[in-house]
Amino acid sequence: MRGHKLLLLACLPWLTLPAWADAPFDSDSEVPRVLTPARLDQPISEVPASVTIIDRELIRVSGARELHEVLRLVPGMAVAKADGNVPTVSYHGTQARDTRRMLVLIDGRSVYQPGFARVSWNDLAVSLEDVERIEVTRGPASAAYGANAFTGVINIITRDPRDSVGQRVSVRAGNNGIRDARLGASHQFENGAFRVSVSSQHDDGYDAGITPLENGDAKRVDKLNSRTVFELSPRDTLTVHAGGSRSRLDRPPESGLQELADYYDDTHQVGERAFFGLDWQRQFSPRHQLKVSAYGQYTNEDNNL
């Protein structure tokens, strides 16, 4: 089965503050501020929804290896794996395999796949180290976001390059063939900054010793994520997002396939994804801003089952 999608979307202007502009706490009352529920910068005590904030420090101390794992910290969120290596995240366990009623955003870009009615968590082109914070709106948000936001919205906000500088290399190894590596760099120049990271995750899956998991749940995922900010003027900012991912998942064969013939190919799933986005922001006052966003996405998936 092959899936192919090319999406270009120009978002309507909306008033908010950029993710980097405010710390997650109000300086006067120490109340966390959020951006997602009403698309406005608000204290969490005033938003018209239940919101969970997972910040950078909480992600670090959680010990999570993959992005979907930190969502276990959200009340009511169900996180599981299908066939050993396909993560699925759903709110209150509804539609666990095909989460067509929960919207997932990365820097305002929807990663929901309408053709498959799902979010491919393995292929999200962002590593945990790139994430500044995650805001989860627990409850209906279709009034603000439209379709596919009936049960909630997960908004993943990546780190602004102006908040970091330097280079970092990390390597992780463990049982069941875990071999992870990441190279990240950020640099500030006269009128802006950029951040780029390249990461790879590889494991052999569960050591179950039973069929179909014994030889059918290994995976490898390579990711590229970048973000560049240009300060065009004291009031105007242009942000460029770009990246992509490539994944290969070993998949268990369909039941009864071995009985059809003595020879068959190894079953696997290969995915390729790329994205490019632009955000233009005009700051009118400390509390008001105009933001226009546009992005394009490419998805190609090949399943040999």
Q: Higher confidence at residue 4 or residue 176?
A: 176
pLDDT at 285 over 80: yes
One-letter amino acid for residue 209 of the chain: G
Query: According to the model, what pLDDT value does residue 48 have?
Result: 81
Does this model's pTM top 0.85? My answer is no
Structural domains of the chain, count: 1
Q: Is 56 left (phi over 0), alpha (psi -120 to 50) or beta?
A: alpha
- pLDDT single digits (tens) 42-57: 888 888 888 999 999 9
Q: How many CB atoms lie within 10 A of CB 111?
A: 21
The number of residues making up the chain comes to 305
Mean pLDDT of the region 182-189: 94
User: Which CATH number characterizes residue 62's domain?
Assistant: 2.170.130.10
- pLDDT single digits (tens) 79-88: 888 777 888 8
pLDDT at 149 over 60: yes
Choose from 125-129, 138-142, 239-243, 286-290 the range with maximum mean pLDDT.
239-243
Q: What is the dihedral of CA 196, 73, 152, 25, to 10 degrees?
A: -70
Domain region containing 141? 2-304
Mean pLDDT of the region 5-25: 39
Grouping H, G, I as helix, E, B as strand and the rest as coil, residue 44 is: coil
The per-residue DSSP string of 1-25 comes to -EEEEEEEEEPPPEE---TTTS-SB
Cα separation values, 146 from 34, 103, 190, 295, Å: 19, 9, 39, 17
pLDDT at 75 over 50: yes
pLDDT at 212 over 90: no
